[in-house]
Amino acid sequence: MKPSTLRAAIAASVAAIASLAAQAAEPDLAAAEKIYQANCAVCHGVKMEGGFGPSLGDHAWRHGAPTKANLIKVIGEGVPDKQMPRWSTALSASQIALLADLIAANGAGAAKPAVALTPEAKAQRDVPDLSGFKLPKGFHISVYANQVAAARSMVVSDSGIVYVGSRKAGKVYALVPRADKQTADVVTVAEGLENPIGVTLLNGALYVGEISRVIRFDNIDKRYAQKPSYEVVKVSLPNDKWHGEKVIKAGPDGKLYIPVGAPCNVCDVEDTRSAKIYRMNADGSQLEEYARGVRNTVGFAFHPVTKVLWFTDNGRDEMGDNTPSCELNVAPKAGMHFGFPYCHGGVVPDPAFAKGRSCEEFEPPVAKLGPHVAPLGLTFYTGKQFPEAYRNNVYIAEHGSWNRTTKSGYSVRLITLYNSKVVTDTAFIDGFLRGEEVVGRPVDVATLPDGSMIVSDDYGGRVYRVTYDGK
């Protein structure tokens, strides 16, 4: 928000509070507002939007519902170990009661800031109605962790801690299972990073892919809570901003796989280092090209039996709503070419770049996932909780279209395989799109040690958990 808009918003909300006070003879909210601005705004924000201290206008109350009695108690006693001062020593009982009225009114929406919430902010604030999700019979969805802003790729350690990358939030999180194992606490492992979307584990270390570098946190399961230091891996890769975010994954060969997207919607980058998947040793040495002609892959996984690399690729834009298809690809060996920019979706020659080249020259996708669905992370489910028919198949998080007339994607797909051949492509979780309202955008899929599945959502900023009980 621009400072001028912010000032206008503050003026408007102060005016709203003042007029509210004028209407109600009691309590005197204008007086309360003065006490608030003088003592509390420094930590809770001028509009109670939060800052050093939590927002006093949201629904996530830490000390019980914002009733007058609860508020008087917490303001009076403070939370000394969390740096919320004990106000009973500085303010009178009637001043504290006035503040409680003011906050209760704000929490109830009476003095909500004049600024309307964006759809994304609303999705972050309100957990969607879980009954609006559609899963196969016997499966259930719940929220595993809330307030995981911009949650992107995930990796699960042997001890069940989930590491999550993010995008503009610049953070890497650890989701630490609570005693009930149904939910997790969110711990910030690192912040201020450059779109650290990619995370993977190798030899007990967490590797994080930023736009311009790869960093490594050693012995992470022991150190995640201590704002751990990191080392920069010695490797140099293109760092264009467009399609420059990097997922990263440790392969069964002990190498790190990392892609570099095409820095464009469509362009000829055949002789450059873009539109490729690379692999390297854990220390960054022996960097080599593994696959080429890959426009922008934002997720890959290795088949649990064959150990072969499977990856999604996002199709080009600006050829209309219905073409070309996004891809699911398989790269059993190094050196394969997947067609970009000459051929899209295995069958669509590029209008500008195909120039006498044929789609037959390139590796076709093993599944065409549909235009603009934006397939991101994928995983092979190998857990024991889901029935046999669900195992060793592919689950793909489809982030959803951003530029299609009718939105598509916004779901987790189940691709069933027979001997590594694609048999069916059906919805596993639907309901991130309700009518035209977006309540979440799936980014990655992973399995917890108990065989439940988790799905990250960077739009709502949360991680969901899917369980099976057959009922």
Interacting residues with ligand HEC (CB under 6 A): 39-40, 42-44, 52-54, 56, 61-63, 71, 74-75, 79, 82-85, 87, 99, 103
Contact 412, 429 (CB under 8 A): yes
CB of 93 to ligand HEC, least distance (A): 13
Contact 267, 341 (CB under 8 A): yes
Which of 84/174 has CB closer to ligand HEC?
84
**Sign of torsion, CA 452 455 456 459?**
negative
Using CA atoms, how far apart are residues 345 and 338, in angstroms rounded to an integer?
Answer: 9
Which of 39/146 has CB closer to ligand HEC?
39
Using CA atoms, how far apart are residues 74 and 85, in angstroms rounded to an integer?
Answer: 10
Using CA atoms, how far apart are residues 469 and 182, in angstroms rounded to an integer?
Answer: 14
430-to-50, 192, 338, 410 alpha-carbon distances in Å = 34, 33, 29, 7
Contact 336, 329 (CB under 8 A): no
- Residue type present at position 336: M
**Can you say how many angstroms the Cα of residue 423 is from the centroid of all Cα atoms in its chain?**
29
Which of 54/377 has CB closer to ligand HEC?
54
Which of 77/129 has CB closer to ligand HEC?
77
Residue recorded with tokens 């704002």: 227
CB of 22 to ligand HEC, least distance (A): 22
CB of 327 to ligand HEC, least distance (A): 46
CB of 14 to ligand HEC, least distance (A): 16
CB of 174 to ligand HEC, least distance (A): 19
CB of 309 to ligand HEC, least distance (A): 44
Angle at 90 between CA 88 and CA 95, to 5 degrees: 70
Which of 31/359 has CB closer to ligand HEC?
31
Which of 39/212 has CB closer to ligand HEC?
39
CB of 85 to ligand HEC, least distance (A): 5
Which of 71/330 has CB closer to ligand HEC?
71
Residue recorded with tokens 């004990």: 86
